[in-house]
Homo-oligomer: A and B are copies of this chain.
């Protein structure tokens, strides 16, 4: 196991043999390294290129993912090479490994969050779950994405706050910028009103809005959504262009309120029946 001592039992000629052996081992290792490194690199790059084309990733994102993967691969390879070289020249690497192991474990306990950030970040990028300028809800924050990093994602809230979210906290992304959104208005009419009449009035407003090019589908009056404690709630629903849903809902609400007023249909305040009784 220890080649210096053993070597000393023989004479110089044997020492030479020994040196040749060590040299050969080192050579083999270096050649192995020289072969494995570019091969592995190529393999990783090809794999990520293939994924990129499949998922139509942008060139920039493709490069980011390649660089990250190649870096991790290189560090692991160099670590192993050094270990094997040490071992080949007869230096015991036990202590070194153990040292690295203890430090690694100690950090591992604390830094698992970091690795978790990177793994999650890798997939957020790869699966294009969020893009810069998407409006998303993730990790309890809500806003426009300003940057998607490998460790943190930055989201600008509606009120102007900039949120830094470690990727590991993103346990599910609700992306509000992928396709048309629904606009939904619930409006309550009095219990004494004729439901058919009210629905006709509202449907007429809805028909006007169907011309509005912000609407992709509808809006339409669905029917009696609930029998509230003081009103009969009628639901109107439509599909709008992305990010237009709020403006459209505001316009719908105003138009419907004015149409019901014009038709003399009541939007009731809360009602209560009072039963009078004198102090006993």
Q: Chain B interface: which of A42-50, A56-64, A203-211, A251-259?
A: A251-259
> A192 vs B17: C-alpha distance in the bound complex, in angstroms?
105
Partner of A270, one of B110, B253, B271: B271
B contact residues around A83 at 8 Å (CB): 95-96, 98-99
Residues A101 and B100 in contact, CB atoms below 8 Å apart: no
A106, B94: Cα distance in complex, Å: 19
**Within 8 Å of chain B (Cβ to Cβ): is A157?**
yes
Is A125 interfacial (CB-CB < 8 Å)? no
| Interface 1/0 per residue, A219-241 and B, CB below 8 Å | 00011111101101001000100
Kindly provide the distance from the CB of A129 to the nearest chain B CB, expressed in whole angstroms: 4
A33 to B: closest C-beta gap in Å: 12
Residues from chain B with a CB closer than 8 A to the CB of A100 are 76, 80, 102
Which residues 238-280 in A have Cβ within 8 Å of B in the complex? 239, 242, 245, 247, 250-251, 253-254, 257-258, 267-280
Q: Does A162 contact B (CB under 8 A)?
A: yes
In the bound complex, residues from chain B placing their C-beta under 8 Å from that of A113 are 110, 116, 119-120, 168
CB contact under 8 A between A25 and B91, given known A5-B3, A111-B119, A172-B166: yes
Q: From the candidates B21, B162, B192, B235, name the one contacting A8 in the complex (CB within 8 A).
A: B21
User: Which of B101, B224, B247, B258 is close to A257, meaning CB atoms less than 8 Å apart?
Assistant: B224
Q: CA–CA, A21 to B127, complex, Å?
A: 50
Bound CA–CA A250/B95 (angstroms): 67
Chain B residues, Cβ within 8 Å of A239: 160
Question: Smallest Cβ distance from A140 to chain B, in angstroms?
Answer: 7
A224 CA to B250 CA in the complex, in Å? Answer: 5
Q: Please list 16 pairs of residues, one from A and one from B, whose beta carbons are closer than 8 Å in the complex, sorted by A's number.
A: A5-B21, A80-B95, A105-B108, A107-B119, A110-B116, A127-B164, A160-B181, A162-B174, A164-B172, A166-B171, A226-B253, A227-B267, A230-B269, A230-B270, A268-B273, A272-B273
